[in-house]
Structure 1
Amino acid sequence: MHSIPPTFSIPTKSLLFIVLTFFLFATQSQAQSKDPSPISFPTPKNIDHMLVYLQRDPNTNTLIYALNLKENGTLKTDNPIEVYWIRYGEKGQKKDLGYIQRKFAYGIDTKKLATDKYEFRFVSHKKLPFYLQRSSDKSYHVTVMINNHLIRVTRLFIRIQGGSFWLPNVKYAEVEGIDEASGKPIVERINVK
Structure 2
Amino acid sequence: MRNYLLLLLYFSSVLFPLLAQEGYPKPNVKDLLFYIQHNRGKNTYLYQANIDKQGKIDSNDPVKISRQMFDNNAEIKSITAIQRKFAYGIDSTPQSDKSYELSLVSYPQQRLYLRSNADDNYFVETTLNGIKMKINRLFIFQKEGTSGLNTKVDYILFFGTDQKGKHVHSKLVID
Letter matched to residue 12 of structure 2: A
| C-alpha distance in 2 between matches for 1:38 and 1:142 | 22
1:155 is aligned to 2:137: yes
1:191 is aligned to 2:173: yes
1:73 is aligned to 2:51: no
1:174 is aligned to 2:157: yes
Please show how residues 42-191 of structure 1 align to structure 2 within 5 Å.
42-45=25-28, 47-162=29-144, 163-180=146-163, 182-191=164-173
Question: CA offset at residue 166 of structure 1?
Answer: 1.7
Q: Deviations over 1:93-117 (max 9, x none)?
A: 1100111100000001011011200
Letter matched to residue 169 of structure 1: K
| C-alpha distance in 1 between matches for 2:120 and 2:86 | 32
Structure 1, gaps ≥5 residues long: 1-22
Report the CA distance shift for 1:166/1:39 in structure 2 as closer, same or farther (over 3 A): farther
Q: Deviations over 1:1-49 (max 9, x none)?
A: xxxxxxxxxxxxxxxxxxxxxx9xx86995367653376311112x011
Counterpart secondary structure, 1:151: strand
Structure 1 consecutive aligned stretches of length 4 or more whose deviation exceeds 4 Å: 26-30, 32-35
Q: Which residue in 2 is equivalent to 1:31?
A: 12
Note the aligned Cα RMSD (angstroms).
2.1
- With a CA cutoff of 8 Å and minimum separation of 6, indicate the structure with the bigger relative contact order: 2
Structure 2, gaps ≥5 residues long: none
Counterpart secondary structure, 1:75: coil
| C-alpha distance in 1 between matches for 2:170 and 2:13 | 18
Letter matched to residue 119 of structure 2: D
| C-alpha distance in 2 between matches for 1:121 and 1:142 | 11
Question: CA offset at residue 150 of structure 1?
Answer: 1.3
| C-alpha distance in 2 between matches for 1:123 and 1:42 | 25
**Identical aligned residues as a percent:** 26
